[in-house]
Amino acid sequence: MLDLTVIPATDTRLPAEPFRGRHLIGGTWVEGAETFGRRSPSHGVVVSHSALGTAADAEAAIAAARRAFDAGDWSRAPAKSRAEVLTRVAALIEANVDRIALLETLETGKPISQSKGEVSGAADLWRYAAALARTLHGESHNTLGTDILGVVVKEPIGVVSIITPWNFPFWILSQKLPFALAAGCTCVIKPSEMTPSTTVMLGELLVEAGMPAGVVNIVLGYGLPVGATLASHPDVDMVTFTGSTGVGKGITAAASGTLKKVALELGGKNPQIVFPDADLDSAADAVTFGIYFNAGECCNSGSRIILHEDIAADFTARVVALSRKVAFGDPLHPDTQVGAIVTPQHRDKIDAYVKAASAAGATVALGGTALQVPGLAGEFYQPTVVTGVTPDMAVAREEVFGPVLSVLTFRTADEAVALANDATYGLSAGVWSENVHTCLDLARRIQAGTIWTNTWMDGFPELTFGGFKQSGTGREIGSYGLEEFLEVKTLCMRIGRSRANWVRA
């Protein structure tokens, strides 16, 4: 018998009909000549049918966004009116949490309690962006001489393409869209083909909140041709993308033809370093949370732990024991903590990493195979802990994107830093020690956009987020999240006629 905590199928009723998703172009809902379906990864039934976008749909959406931007009704509106619309959207999201969360769970496989948390948390991002809109200002230079006044103003960058992944569809869109809108930009969004529906639901709320037509456009469909058109089109001024590092590099190449601005939030192979003097109970709980949250399908997954040799065996045993208590299973059950894997292909990819590590000499201390959830036909994977991992193994270097923890060890702080930085990624990292000097020293030496000390994955709209190295470029949320969508213009103004003519009389 499996010594794991598995939640079988609950008798929650699924929606009677699949959700029907259409494009939103220039304020009009547009059907596709063809549609594509999304099968729930947990329940194995089709839960949405979406319009299949073409290059022509993407071009029409870009043209609508361009017209709306140039007309100025949004881009030149007082920040106060933009903030009012964003605040109304926040309230509408809050009023629709249950409806949105259900579809988010059915398309992603994530637990319903988590979906509800993400959707209501996203409302707070909209409120924060609304507040930020009204702080937008430039700078003045009154010290350049009696006859010169310099002013640096900030302007919206223009038409922004937003391309999002499947793992946090509603949340990640809300890390980008309200900030772009607060800046005064107009947008074209392409959600992942696996999770299009909650973006459409948000579109419905934007219309209800009074967003002018053409300011936000949505085109559903695949990377090719829709995403590629959004990344390369000359009428787009910026593309902001969250997804895999490989596709991110392709986006940069596609955008280079017009040198448009590119912001990328990509993958991670995030280390947590645990020293012997840490609060080991808290650290073990946070490591367990860090690896199984969202079934490990998370850019911030704490997928490798770097343990001091003195505590490695005991700490690993604690994590294995905790792993057995994490509730895996039906994502619609309120107690479930870990749901389904997004596709059968992805589950096989996760499994291949574990098998390769085992073949290379690592030990599978827990899990390492698919999980059968009674009553559900979907894709699940067991909580998995792999010990004896060496830095050269793929499981230590690449993003597994599954509930698979790699355990490495260190002897000195320098070794721990070297192991942490031995990665092409640099998204986030954690340090566990009760010694503040150890925490601060490592926090300064580790190459990552976010360092957590004695915690993992705490986040706030105020605290900016982004990656070093191949984890990305640019920053989201916080005040930097607004700056990303702004262009800077210098006004240099002469007062009076004090300047002697350049051409001699």
Q: Which of 104, 107, 118, 193 binds ligand NAD (CB under 6 A)?
A: 193
250 binds ligand NAD (CB under 6 A): yes
Place of tokens 């949320």: 477
Q: In the bound complex, what is the minimum distance in angstroms from residue 167's beta carbon to ligand NAD?
A: 5
3-state secondary structure of 298: coil
* Nearest residue (CB) to ligand NAD, 330 versus 399: 399
The residue range among 188-196, 331-339, 363-371, 481-489 that interacts with ligand NAD, by the rule CB under 6 A, is 188-196
Q: Which of 243, 329, 426, 461 binds ligand NAD (CB under 6 A)?
A: 243
Q: In the bound complex, what is the minimum distance in angstroms from residue 45's beta carbon to ligand NAD?
A: 22
336 binds ligand NAD (CB under 6 A): no
The rounded distance, in Å, linking the Cα atoms of 15 and 12 is: 10
Q: In the bound complex, what is the minimum distance in angstroms from residue 26's beta carbon to ligand NAD?
A: 22
452 binds ligand NAD (CB under 6 A): no
* Nearest residue (CB) to ligand NAD, 337 versus 470: 470
290 binds ligand NAD (CB under 6 A): no
Q: What is the dihedral of CA 129, 131, 134, 139, to 10 degrees?
A: -80
Q: Which of 223, 388, 391, 459 binds ligand NAD (CB under 6 A)?
A: 223
Partners of 5 in the β-ladder: 327
* Nearest residue (CB) to ligand NAD, 191 versus 329: 191
The single residue of 59, 107, 265, 379 carrying the catalytic annotation is: 265
E strand or H helix that includes residue 488:
strand 486-494
What Rg value do the Cα atoms of the chain yield, rounded?
A: 24
* Nearest residue (CB) to ligand NAD, 158 versus 227: 227
160 binds ligand NAD (CB under 6 A): no
50 binds ligand NAD (CB under 6 A): no
The rounded distance, in Å, linking the Cα atoms of 158 and 237 is: 6
Contacting residues for 154 by C-beta, under 8 A, at least 6 apart: 136, 137, 138, 486, 487, 488, 489
The half-sphere exposure of 92 on its side-chain side, counting CA atoms within 13 A, is 17
Cβ neighbours around 434 below 10 Å, total: 12
Residue 299 falls in the annotated catalytic set: yes
Q: Which of 106, 251, 306, 417 binds ligand NAD (CB under 6 A)?
A: 251
- Which among 360, 330, 97 has a CA at the least distance from the CA of 205? 97
The rounded distance, in Å, linking the Cα atoms of 272 and 431 is: 6
The residue range among 26-34, 71-79, 262-270, 455-463 that interacts with ligand NAD, by the rule CB under 6 A, is 262-270
429 binds ligand NAD (CB under 6 A): no
Residue 439 falls in the annotated catalytic set: no
388 binds ligand NAD (CB under 6 A): no
* Nearest residue (CB) to ligand NAD, 214 versus 449: 449
* Nearest residue (CB) to ligand NAD, 483 versus 487: 483
The single residue of 299, 379, 439, 484 carrying the catalytic annotation is: 299
E strand or H helix that includes residue 178:
helix 169-183
| Vertex 466: Cα angle to 303 and 472 (nearest 5) | 85
E strand or H helix that includes residue 6:
strand 5-7
Partners of 151 in the β-ladder: 140, 491
227 binds ligand NAD (CB under 6 A): yes
Q: Which of 222, 360, 394, 469 binds ligand NAD (CB under 6 A)?
A: 222
242 binds ligand NAD (CB under 6 A): yes
Contacting residues for 169 by C-beta, under 8 A, at least 6 apart: 104, 107, 108, 191, 192, 195, 196, 198, 199
Q: Which of 130, 299, 376, 446 binds ligand NAD (CB under 6 A)?
A: 299
The residue range among 131-139, 144-152, 161-169, 322-330 that interacts with ligand NAD, by the rule CB under 6 A, is 161-169
Q: Which of 180, 182, 219, 247 binds ligand NAD (CB under 6 A)?
A: 247
Q: H helices within 18-111, ranges in order?
A: 55-71, 79-95, 97-108
Q: In the bound complex, what is the minimum distance in angstroms from residue 305's beta carbon to ligand NAD?
A: 18
Preceding peptide of 331 cis, ω within 30°: no
The rounded distance, in Å, linking the Cα atoms of 154 and 471 is: 27
Q: What tokens were used for 152?
A: 């640096």
**What's the distance, Cα to Cα, between the start and end of the chain in Å?**
99
Site residues (CB under 6 A) for ligand NAD, limited to 470-499 = 471-472
The rounded distance, in Å, linking the Cα atoms of 473 and 355 is: 33
Q: In the bound complex, what is the minimum distance in angstroms from residue 449's beta carbon to ligand NAD?
A: 9
Contacting residues for 29 by C-beta, under 8 A, at least 6 apart: 22, 23
Q: Which of 59, 104, 118, 265 binds ligand NAD (CB under 6 A)?
A: 265
Q: In the bound complex, what is the minimum distance in angstroms from residue 166's beta carbon to ligand NAD?
A: 4
The rounded distance, in Å, linking the Cα atoms of 59 and 417 is: 47
Q: Counting Cβ atoms within 10 Å, is residue 162 exposed (0-12), middle (13-18) or buried (19+)?
A: buried
29 binds ligand NAD (CB under 6 A): no
224 binds ligand NAD (CB under 6 A): yes
* Nearest residue (CB) to ligand NAD, 382 versus 428: 428
The rounded distance, in Å, linking the Cα atoms of 413 and 136 is: 42
Site residues (CB under 6 A) for ligand NAD, limited to 166-185 = 166-168, 172
Just list the catalytic residues: 265, 299
- Under the rule (CB under 6 A), what is the footprint of ligand NAD? 163-168, 172, 190, 192-193, 222-224, 227-228, 231, 242-244, 247, 250-251, 265-268, 299, 399, 427, 467, 471-472
